[in-house]
Amino acid sequence: MTSLKNNVQLIGRLGNEPEVRTFESGKKMATFSLATNDVYYNNEGEKVEDTQWHNIVVWGKKVDVVESYLKKGNEIAMNGKLNNRSYEKDGVKKYITEINMNELLMMGGKKD
């Protein structure tokens, strides 16, 4: 049960091209946004589409896969861990929630 304590599973589409950074130590990190969509009907019977955006962070050897194969619009399934952090920008403290990706499954067919 310990693996269920902080576990997120999402299926969605990349909202942008992955951004890869290489640090002085040689360690690589990739970031991208992932859109998940939910469709439901409100009290008036109208169809409502709700899109949520998630910030995804990738470390280690998985960065090579992300860099080589993932493009904006690709559909993926992923598993990861929630991470909340804060930083200061222009004297204002900002808060961000990210998902550190552990596993990746590329979905759909090959796109040109």
pLDDT bucket at 107, cuts 50 / 70 / 90: very high
Residue 110 pLDDT > 70: no
Parallel, antiparallel or unpaired: strands 92-106 and 47-59:
parallel
- Residue-level pLDDT at 108: 76
pLDDT bucket at 16, cuts 50 / 70 / 90: very high
- The CA radius of gyration of the chain, in Å to the nearest whole number, is 16
Task: Decide: 99 and 8 in contact? Cβ < 8 Å.
Answer: yes
Structure tokens of 58?
């990738």
pLDDT bucket at 72, cuts 50 / 70 / 90: very high
- Residue-level pLDDT at 78: 97
At 30 the three-state DSSP class reads strand
Q: What pTM was estimated for this model as a whole? A: 0.86
Q: Which residues pair with 103 in a beta bridge?
A: 79
Domain 2-106 class, CATH top level? mainly beta
The residue-averaged pLDDT of 19-46 equals: 95
